[in-house]
């Protein structure tokens, strides 16, 4: 079970149950994401990791049947998707969609305006920040004129997800398998990109099957999800154990033994 008590704001999930199409997937998830920390959530296929991300973001197919989720003390589950985004929650997708006819620059500006009003929006600052983030992520400015994700490689799509996170500057970011489908070089590129944006103002949850992307990050906590619940928790060394021994380590252990 995740710990409480760190400074700053927190995204706190307690006893969360969720079903999809009438089938229960999450069976009482307890996890806390602290601002200023990076948390890794690992587990085998079908364990419920992505379901947790969609449930927290408010996808209508994912029905929360019990439990609570609060962001900075506010009830996340009563908010619409737009309200959750404006409150500071961001989701980076495992399979980013291609959107023909919508340029990357237009998409980013529209997303930025979802969190601002005409009074608080600063187009000059937006442009300068976007330019800096593009250079940091190794993305050429020509990408801004291209349709969102259309013709992008797997690694480019995942770096664009990180670009969105950096542009929107959320309080909490959930990155759903940012390493999936990538070769070794692309995993390094994406991992190093995420690491650049670790800072005291953002809490990041990285969902992954493998320890490989965590080699480029420095997770404060690692949790293991099996069959819809968190069954093990620990530090970075837990991810290394999983890499060596597999998810047999994910079998439940007595409280306090993890």
Give the global pTM.
0.88
* Whole-angstrom distance, CA of residue 239 vs CA of residue 116: 38
Which tokens sit at 208? 């992954």
CB-based burial, 234-255: b 16+ in 10 Å, e otherwise = bebebbeebeeeebebbeeeee
Chain-centroid distance, C-alpha 100: 25
The reported pLDDT for the residue numbered 257 is 41
* Whole-angstrom distance, CA of residue 202 vs CA of residue 170: 7
Could you identify the residue written with the tokens 């999800």? 225
Going by their DSSP bridges, the two strands 172-176 and 89-92 should be labelled as parallel
- Domains of the chain, start order: 10-250 (3.40.50.300)
Q: Is residue 258 very low, low, confident or very high in pLDDT (cuts 50, 70, 90)? A: very low
Radius of gyration of the chain (CA): 18
Alpha helices for 58-100 (secondary structure H):
81-86
Bridge partners of 71, per DSSP, are 11, 74
- Tens-place pLDDT, residues 127-142: 999 999 998 888 999 9
**Is it the case that residue 253 has pLDDT exceeding 50?**
no
Q: Are 151 and 69 in contact (CB under 8 A)?
A: no
Determine the average pLDDT of the residues in 190-196: 91
* Whole-angstrom distance, CA of residue 169 vs CA of residue 39: 17
**Is it the case that residue 1 has pLDDT exceeding 70?**
no
Q: Are 217 and 206 in contact (CB under 8 A)?
A: yes
The reported pLDDT for the residue numbered 8 is 86
Nearest CA to 53 out of 65, 44, 45, 62 is that of 62
Q: Are 68 and 13 in contact (CB under 8 A)?
A: yes
- Tens-place pLDDT, residues 7-55: 589 999 999 999 999 999 999 999 999 999 999 999 998 999 999 999 9
Q: Are 87 and 80 in contact (CB under 8 A)?
A: no
**Is it the case that residue 4 has pLDDT exceeding 50?**
no
Which tokens sit at 154? 């797997």
How many CB atoms are closer than 10 A to CB 50? 20
């Amino acid at each position: 079970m995740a710990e409480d008590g760190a400074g700053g704001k927190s995204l706190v999930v307690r006893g969360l149950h969720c079903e999809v199409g009438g089938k229960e997937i999450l069976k009482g998830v307890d996890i806390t994401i602290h601002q200023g920390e990076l948390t890794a959530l690992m587990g085998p296929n079908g364990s419920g990791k992505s379901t947790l991300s969609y449930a927290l973001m408010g996808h209508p197919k994912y029905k929360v049947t019990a439990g609570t989720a609060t962001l900075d003390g506010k009830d996340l589950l009563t908010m619409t998707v737009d309200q959750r985004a404006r409150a500071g929650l961001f989701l980076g997708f495992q399979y980013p969609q291609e959107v023909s006819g919508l340029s990357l620059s237009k998409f980013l500006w529209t997303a930025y305006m979802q969190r601002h009003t005409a009074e608080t929006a600063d187009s000059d600052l937006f442009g300068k920040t976007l330019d800096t983030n593009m250079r940091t992520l190794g993305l050429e400015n020509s990408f801004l004129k291209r349709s969102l994700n259309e013709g992008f490689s797997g690694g480019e799509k995942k770096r664009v997800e990180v670009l969105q996170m950096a542009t929107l500057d959320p309080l909490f970011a959930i990155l759903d398998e940012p390493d999936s489908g990538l070769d070794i070089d692309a995993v390094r590129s994406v991992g190093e990109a995420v690491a650049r944006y670790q800072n005291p103002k953002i809490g990041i949850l990285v969902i992954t099957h493998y320890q490989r992307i965590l080699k480029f990050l420095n997770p404060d906590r690692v949790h293991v999800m099996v069959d819809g619940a968190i069954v093990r928790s620990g530090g970075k060394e837990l991810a290394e154990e999983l890499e060596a021994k597999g998810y047999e380590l994910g079998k439940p252990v007595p409280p306090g033994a993890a």
